[in-house]
Amino acid sequence: MPVNDCLDRYREVVDDWPAFRAAVSTPLPTTIWAHPERISRDALQALLAEDGVEAKPVGWHPRALRLAEGLRPGVHWGQAAGLYHAQEEASMVPVTLLDPQSGHRVLDLCAAPGNKTAQAALALGNRGTVVANDVAKGRLAAIRHLIKRLGLMNVSVTCRPAQDYSPQAGGFDRIIADVPCTCEGTVRKSSQRSAQALCETRERLTSRQVAILDKAVRLCRPGGRIVYSTCTFAPEENEQVVDTLLRRYPDDLRLLPVSLPGLHLSSGLTEWQGQSFLPALVNAARLWPHHNNTGGFFIALLEKVGGSCREAERAEEVPADDHWIRGILQRYAIPDTVLEGLRLVHRGRKYAQLIAADHEPPVRPERAFFGLPTVGVQVKPPKLTTAGVMALAPHVRRNVVDLDDVQAQGYTARQVVTLRPGQGIELGESGSVVVRRRGYGLGLGVVSPVEQDGSRQLTSLYPRSWASEVS
């Protein structure tokens, strides 16, 4: 039996069954959100429109846009340049409701591929502390790439089973527990799993989901909040899990009511197939695909009103050699004020990382990586990484070239580009330059000496692994 037929078990709890079935049978819209430190939503919408990409604002989210049907995020170079990030609309809801604020210490227990981590990191203004954890070492590469592309300087990444996360890592003011689930709500992405497979997976996952949420409760500071979410419809993985924890910690947990103006959130269930849940479960939220033209999601926002947690010791970091970054600031005439609230640290042989000065990472578990790889230190003199260029490009005032659209397409295809006479700002005789497109950083290049006609050749240093992302 295909997964679509498995959804028949929800007929009695869906308000409009024909509309629901029609919705899950259609493709899922593509949504993106504008990087708040790089571009406004209005400016991003206009930039996309100039290049023939139609996008409309998402009413409930101040930075989100929905692309026209059939368009994918990678059709525009802005994705590779980190101007926006693609994320399913329903998936944006949990962190929006969690509402991380400056000064909060945030943990994302099941972070890969990093969408919610990025939301939280930028909600903190790219300062403070976000710890992103995932059990699968192979999935950390997606988080690392997202950190580079979006220029995140307040994230440390760990690799541990969420349910066994070290108590030495606590306490946290905000915890994201977007747990592994049967993913029924992603049926619009053409899942072909069978109903039998879903049921077998559900039985395995429920105890794990309870254990992960229990760990979140233990790591959360009193007065802090936890968002528990899944992309499945199953009450066994949703209301039943939250009900279990509310009964386990009756004096320490409170389920908060939630709402987002412009978004239809349905109430959680208080009973299912003869099983009754606590009346408070009405405060949980469900996103049904036919209400908002999204995927399916479940969200519960919990406040820890009692109990305690173990406070963490801050991990120490090795300060980087100051001249590594000072030489770069001088070459590109970047003001020293850009480094306010940041510190340069060194781990490994290849890079020095910029990380928020007020970042408070845990001693345990040990971090797989942290901060933004900004300076490549294996070469002499040290040079900016592509991620460093993208983060610092707006502040560059010397040795910088702004390419037109045709030139930029050649650059991101790793071709040699001819610069017109006088193109570029205070270029030296030759050497490395910051490359921008419409003022937004793309990466590094090397310019040749001036030729007889006044032109120069720009050799692209755009990373091979990034070239496929740019149209």
* Average confidence (pLDDT) over 100-113: 97
Domain assignment of residue 169, yes or no: no
For the ranges 86-90, 305-309, 463-467, the maximum mean pLDDT occurs at 86-90
Per-residue CA distances from 310 to 133, 167, 222, 239, 362 (Å): 18, 6, 11, 28, 12
413 labelled binding-site residue: no
| Residue 1 binned pLDDT confidence (cut-offs 50, 70, 90) | very low
114 labelled binding-site residue: yes
Domain count, the chain: 1
118 labelled binding-site residue: no
Domain assignment of residue 432, yes or no: yes
**Domain containing residue 437:** 398-471
* Average confidence (pLDDT) over 292-305: 97
Residue 156 CB partners (closer than 8 Å, separation 6+): 129, 130, 131, 132, 315, 359, 361, 362, 367, 369, 370, 371
- Do 80 and 466 contact (CB within 8 A), yes or no? yes
- Do 183 and 296 contact (CB within 8 A), yes or no? no
Domain assignment of residue 141, yes or no: no
Catalytic residue among 6, 159, 181, 231: 231
Cα-Cα-Cα-Cα torsion 240, 242, 246, 249, nearest 10 degrees, comes to 120
Bridge partners, 407 (sequence order): none
Q: Tell me, rounded to whole angstroms, the distance of Cα 16 from its chain centroid.
A: 33
Q: Tell me, rounded to whole angstroms, the distance of Cα 145 from its chain centroid.
A: 10
Domain assignment of residue 127, yes or no: no
- For residue 407 the two structure tokens come to 């030139």
Residue 467 has pLDDT above 80, yes or no: no
134 labelled binding-site residue: yes
Q: What is the pTM of this model?
A: 0.94
Give which of 291, 288, 69, 290 is closest to 184, Cα–Cα. Answer: 288
* Cα–Cα distance, 260 to 423 (Å, whole number): 48
171 labelled binding-site residue: no
Residue scoring higher pLDDT (353 or 193): 353
* Cα–Cα distance, 110 to 56 (Å, whole number): 30
Looking at residue 232, what is its pLDDT? 95
Domain assignment of residue 420, yes or no: yes
* Cα–Cα distance, 35 to 263 (Å, whole number): 22
* Cα–Cα distance, 304 to 253 (Å, whole number): 5
Residue 470 has pLDDT above 70, yes or no: no
115 labelled binding-site residue: yes
Q: Is 231 a catalytic residue?
A: yes
Backbone φ and ψ for 340, nearest 5 degrees, come out as -60, 130
Residue 402 has pLDDT above 80, yes or no: yes
78 labelled binding-site residue: no
Backbone φ and ψ for 391, nearest 5 degrees, come out as -75, -35
- For residue 458 the two structure tokens come to 């720009």
Query: CATH code at 447?
Result: 3.10.450.720
- Do 46 and 79 contact (CB within 8 A), yes or no? no
Give which of 381, 415, 414 is closest to 399, Cα–Cα. Answer: 381
Give which of 398, 430, 416, 423 is closest to 459, Cα–Cα. Answer: 416
> Could you give the residue ranges of the DSSP H alpha helices within 362-449?
386-392, 405-412
Region of poorest pLDDT, from 167-176, 260-269, 320-329, 409-418: 320-329
Instruction: Indicate the DSSP class of residue 142.
Output: H
Per-residue CA distances from 389 to 322, 397, 433 (Å): 18, 13, 10
